[in-house]
């Protein structure tokens, strides 16, 4: 490990004890949720409903894990599908450069598999006409419906390195059912990323029009799941680095 890397690790570990920084982060998170800050970004032209810090964290994870399949529940406008597909394209490009071969994008095995209960026609058309579309496969239905789980499991059998992202219905029961169904597909040393754990830390009044809220959300599902699944650990290093994130305690690393 070089000096810069050692200094980075040191800086990150100090964040968790930096009360001024943590208070500023908490204030930003609650204000930015009220202003729907995370709805304002795009990935290669498609809206992506995420904090930029979490997009960077995904970039770092994808570079480290080098997955050949990314399973995503919750497509919405397709920004996260396109973002992740573009990262897979870059992995292919880097491998082609390193091995001195010619890259044929149509032959890439790497894929993003998206599941959504309601893929709106205009979103489908925009995703299917995007230059990244050859790496994207979408299926419509509830992510916890048995027939959908069967399809996803069957597709994932053809892949070796699998990364899972859960970002659909944010109730405790739904996310727990998704974790039971899809977390086991995560390869060792890869991640199951559970989005919107932030709901647990926000005031109840913020979610009066939603079926989720504090006490009933992705973070409570993660806590329950982890009690019986020591093969996953929360990657606290990512949390301490990002600080501003909707996914704190949701970056689950498969360790065995």
Ligand X SMILES: C[S@@+](CC[C@H](N)C(=O)[O-])C[C@H]1O[C@@H](n2cnc3c(N)ncnc32)[C@H](O)[C@@H]1O
Enumerate binding residues for ligand X (CB under 6 A).
Answer: 48-50, 73-77, 79-80, 115-118, 142-143, 167-169
Shortest Cβ distance from residue 19 to ligand X (Å)? 31
Distance CA 184, CA 231 (A): 9
Locate tokens 């390193």: which residue?
98
Tell me the closest approach of the beta carbon of residue 184 to ligand X, in angstroms. Answer: 18
Residue 92 vs 167, nearer CB to ligand X = 167
Nearer to ligand X, 169 or 187 (CB): 169
Tokens 């977390």 label which residue?
Answer: 183
Q: How far is the CB of 170 from ligand X (least distance, A)?
A: 8
Between residues 180 and 233, which has the closer beta carbon with respect to ligand X? 180
Query: By C-beta, is 193 or 243 nearer to ligand X?
Result: 193
At its nearest, how many Å lie between ligand X and the CB of residue 58?
9
Bridge pairing between strands 162-166 and 232-234: unpaired
Nearer to ligand X, 78 or 108 (CB): 78
Select from 141, 140, 177, 182 the least CA-distant residue to 165.
Answer: 182
What is the residue whose two structure tokens read 């405790």?
Answer: 172
Least distance from ligand X to the Cβ atom of residue 239, Å = 19
CB-nearer residue toward ligand X: 21 or 34? 34
CB of 236 vs ligand X, minimal distance in Å = 23
Could you tell me if 170 and 196 are in contact, meaning their C-beta atoms sit under 8 angstroms apart? yes
């Amino acid at each position: 490990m070089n000096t810069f890397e050692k200094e980075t690790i040191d800086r990150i570990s100090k964040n968790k004890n930096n009360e001024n920084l943590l208070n500023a982060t908490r204030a930003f998170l609650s204000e930015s949720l009220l202003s729907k800050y995370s709805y304002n970004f795009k990935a290669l032209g498609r809206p992506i409903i995420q904090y930029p810090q979490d997009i960077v964290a995904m970039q770092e994870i994808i570079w480290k894990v080098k997955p050949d399949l990314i399973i995503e529940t919750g497509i919405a406008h397709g920004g996260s599908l396109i973002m992740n597909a573009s990262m897979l394209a870059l992995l292919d490009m880097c491998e082609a450069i390193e091995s001195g071969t010619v890259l044929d994008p149509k032959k890439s095995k790497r894929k993003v598999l998206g599941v959504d209960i309601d893929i709106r026609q205009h979103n489908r058309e925009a995703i299917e006409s995007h230059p990244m579309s050859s790496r994207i496969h979408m299926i419509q239905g509830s992510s916890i419906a048995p027939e959908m789980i069967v399809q996803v499991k069957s597709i994932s059998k053809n892949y070796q390195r699998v990364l899972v992202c859960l970002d659909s219905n944010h109730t405790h029961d739904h996310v727990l059912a998704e974790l039971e169904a899809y977390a086991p597909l995560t390869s060792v040393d890869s991640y199951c990323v559970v989005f919107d754990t932030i709901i647990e830390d926000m005031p109840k009044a913020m979610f009066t029009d939603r079926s989720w809220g504090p006490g009933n959300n992705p973070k409570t599902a993660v806590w329950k799941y982890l009690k019986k699944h020591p093969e996953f650990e929360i990657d606290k290093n990512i949390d301490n680095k990002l600080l501003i994130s909707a996914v704190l305690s949701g970056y689950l690393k498969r360790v065995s």
